[in-house]
Amino acid sequence: MSTGQIHDLGYKRYVGSRRSMGTRWTVIMRHQLATAWKTWWRFRVWLVAGMLATAVSGGVLYFLSGRMFRMLGGLSGQGINFADGILPLSMQWYCPIGFIISLAIGATVVAGDVQSGAFTFYFARSVRPRDYVIGKLAGLGILLSLVMVGGPLFLSGLRLGLSDDLDHLIELAPVVYKALAVGALGTLVYAAVPLGFSALITNRRYAMALWAAYYLIIGWMAQGISYVTRPEIAALDLGAALKGVAMNLFEVQMNGRNAMIPTSAALISIFGHAAIAIGLVFWRVRNAQQTGVGGSS
Amino acid sequence: MTAIIELEGLAKRFGAITALQAVTAVVDGNIIGLLGPNGAGKSTLLKCLLGLLPYQGRARVLGLDAAAQGAEIRDRVGYMPEQEAFLSGMSAVELCTYAGELSGLPRTEAMQRAHAALYYAGLEEKRYQPIDGYSTGMKQRVKLAQALVHDPEILFLDEPTNGLDPRSREEMLDLIALLPVRRNCTIVLSTHLLPDVERVCDHAVIMHHGQVRFVGTIDELRGARGRDSELFVEVKAEAARLGEALAAAGATCRVTSPVALEVDLPANATTQLVFHTAQAAGLQVRELGVRRESVEAAFLRVIGDTTHQIGGVPQRALTRALAGGLSTPADATDLGGPR
């Protein structure tokens, strides 16, 4: 390393203008994207998994759009079009992938920054708590939306492309909005909620474990309890709530607990979780802003 | 000209605990030592100055109101924290570029300045390596570089030599000492290591129990007792005999070596008494000066001696008044300089 010599590359005072305070969140967002992209296991491999899920779902959708399967649907006497069910059913793939991405990236964000002392780094500068929270949320949101929105949107486009004629296409057009809505809800769940869990604990591994435990164990427990009580309880299982919204939105009649979760309960659960999580992050970050610089004394 | 920091009745309470008590001070200088024991209020003061904590009273940094313009102040101030404040997995150049962008610099400018700051801090060879693998000394240098990257006008350094080996400490102090000249910025150095302050600072602010006990130059701090009657005298030989002669003339003497003694002159006496007594005794005075305290001794006196509490009186004015009583530094320098 150094020999103690001072190597000045020709210092001159910066006289240019500084970017406005309102753009600081974009810097944090770009950093979040760059960090996630750096290591293959945190995002890239799951993006590939999402693309594979989309390819498989698209293949099945193409296959089920064939004349033979439409005839089978007609023979059932209920006019079922199997192809219509593929898009909501694809959430069975996208939700686990979204969860894994949220576990690898989202659940470690705030805890990791607390652990490494990064808040001192951020808040000794002209970064406000809202810049940090919005930047991190936006970064995570973009990453997750590549899978959670991109996949369903591609499938909805494919579904439109496989329509028989213009009338059929116009009839099917709402699937695009529905796919966007389901994808956006999925992005919100897997971006905001793990961020909230990462704000609860100052150790990134424990934060990951807490988020995983909540998502899986509390989810399973809620499902179990809902069988003997009310179906609304199952909405506490965020994955099930998302799938429930997708089933109801696409009006696909399926057996199973997910399909029985009322849309209103699922939406309350999703937005409630997200609001509490974002509130927690703000609380943690605001505290960190006041204690980081100069130590906590 | 606007002072670097102006405080007027600055107060901060955390519940029942008073962290800052109506602090009034005007702070200026090139390298200012911010001193005080744990719990003195240094960190709280720093947070108030950066606009991170609400407070009562008035605090201005570079002429900006800390309560209303905290973010603008933070754009013009660099902060080197005591503890590690890195983002895991980043190289030094990535971290410094990110720091520059977060302070509002365009990306290209931030990157150029990141390289320049790392060169200045002596990390040119290692700047692309992840910081996680750096030694303590290198991490201190990265902390300095990330504080410098956005071209601050004031640099707050929190214990910059903590954990450094003697050589790295010297190098860090060299970097700090040259910053006002090379980077045109003022340094506020918060440290417990008083030799560091003695080595690089020209001004000091001493805090204790949430109050500013002293603001002024290091020379003023070391001579702030206001007594020019406490001298050290060096003679060619027979210091003990001069001591006896001076004692007979009413002075209090303490012989510290065969050729040196400390003298407390009696009331109304001047240094002429020493010269006349030595002449009468046939002794040759080789050096004479006002006894100056070390920064450490002065610091302990300021925080420990209640007679020097400065409640309600503008400290700088008081300090100047105290220092104004000293007419001897020039004389002392002529005769061999203060110790």
Q: Is ipTM strictly over 0.90?
A: no
Residues in chain B: 339
Cβ neighbours of B46 in A, within 8 Å: 293-294
CB contact residues (below 8 A), chain B span 291-310, against chain A:
none
Give the pLDDT confidence of A73-91 residue by residue, as tens digits: 555 555 456 677 888 889 9
With bands split at pLDDT 50, 70 and 90, how would you rate the model's confidence at B315?
very low
The answer to whether B334 contacts chain A (CB < 8 Å) is: no
A–B: how many Cβ contacts below 8 A?
156
Q: Which residue has the higher pLDDT, A274 or B194?
A: A274
Cβ neighbours of A202 in B, within 8 Å: none
Alpha-helical segments (H) within chain B: 42-49, 70-76, 92-102, 107-120, 136-148, 166-182, 194-200, 218-222, 239-248, 272-281, 295-304, 315-324, 329-334
Residues in chain A: 297
In whole numbers, what is the pLDDT of chain A averaged over residues? 87
Instruction: State the pLDDT at residue B234.
Output: 92
Q: Is the pLDDT of residue A1 over 90?
A: no
Q: Is the pLDDT of residue B254 over 80?
A: yes
Tokens 């949101």 correspond to A141
Cβ neighbours of B109 in A, within 8 Å: 14, 16
Please give the average per-residue pLDDT across B208-222, as a whole number. 89
Instruction: State the pLDDT at residue A282.
Output: 94
Q: B81 and A128: CB-CB below 8 Å?
A: no
Q: Which of A208, A256, A219, A240 is nearest to A42 (CA)?
A: A208
What is the Cβ-side half-sphere exposure of residue A110, based on CA atoms within 13 angstroms? 33
Q: Which residue has the higher pLDDT, B163 or B335?
A: B163
Calculate helix-pair angle for A45-64, A91-104, nearest 10 degrees: 180
Q: Is the pLDDT of residue A42 over 70?
A: yes
Q: Is the pLDDT of residue B14 over 80?
A: yes
Q: B120 and A118: CB-CB below 8 Å?
A: no
Instruction: State the pLDDT at residue A259.
Output: 57
Residues 6+ apart with CB under 8 A from B20: B10, B11, B12, B41, B44, B45, B48, B55, B210, B211
C-alpha distances in angstroms, B135 versus A1, A28, A272, B31, B140? 10, 27, 46, 27, 9
Instruction: State the pLDDT at residue A292.
Output: 65
Q: A18 and B119: CB-CB below 8 Å?
A: no
DSSP class of A42: I
Q: Is the pLDDT of residue A72 over 80?
A: no
How far does CA A87 lie from the centroid of its chain? 17
Q: B184 and A13: CB-CB below 8 Å?
A: yes
How far A184 CA sits from the closest chain B CA (Å)? Answer: 29
With bands split at pLDDT 50, 70 and 90, how would you rate the model's confidence at B325?
very low
Determine which of A62-76, A108-122, A186-200, A224-238 has the lowest per-residue pLDDT on average: A62-76
The whole-angstrom separation of Cα A269 and Cα A52 is 29
With bands split at pLDDT 50, 70 and 90, how would you rate the model's confidence at A162?
confident
Q: Which residue has the higher pLDDT, A1 or B265?
A: B265
Q: Is the pLDDT of residue B147 over 90?
A: yes
Instruction: State the pLDDT at residue B93.
Output: 95
C-alpha distances in angstroms, A63 versus A70, A80, A83? 10, 15, 8
In whole numbers, what is the pLDDT of chain B averaged over residues? 83
Instruction: State the pLDDT at residue B328.
Output: 30
Sheet holding B230-235, edge to edge: B252-257, B260-264, B230-235, B285-290
Residues 6+ apart with CB under 8 A from A106: A140, A144, A190, A191, A193, A194, A195, A198, A211
The answer to whether B101 contacts chain A (CB < 8 Å) is: yes
With bands split at pLDDT 50, 70 and 90, how would you rate the model's confidence at B311?
very low
Give the pLDDT confidence of B103-125 residue by residue, as tens digits: 999 999 999 999 999 998 888 88
Q: Which residue has the higher pLDDT, A79 or A27?
A: A27
Q: Is the pLDDT of residue A193 over 50?
A: yes
Q: A18 and B89: CB-CB below 8 Å?
A: no
The whole-angstrom separation of Cα B335 and Cα B275 is 12
Give yes or no for a contact between A141 and A187, defined as CB atoms under 8 angstroms apart. yes
Calculate helix-pair angle for A263-292, A129-148, nearest 10 degrees: 140
Q: Is the pLDDT of residue A40 over 90?
A: no
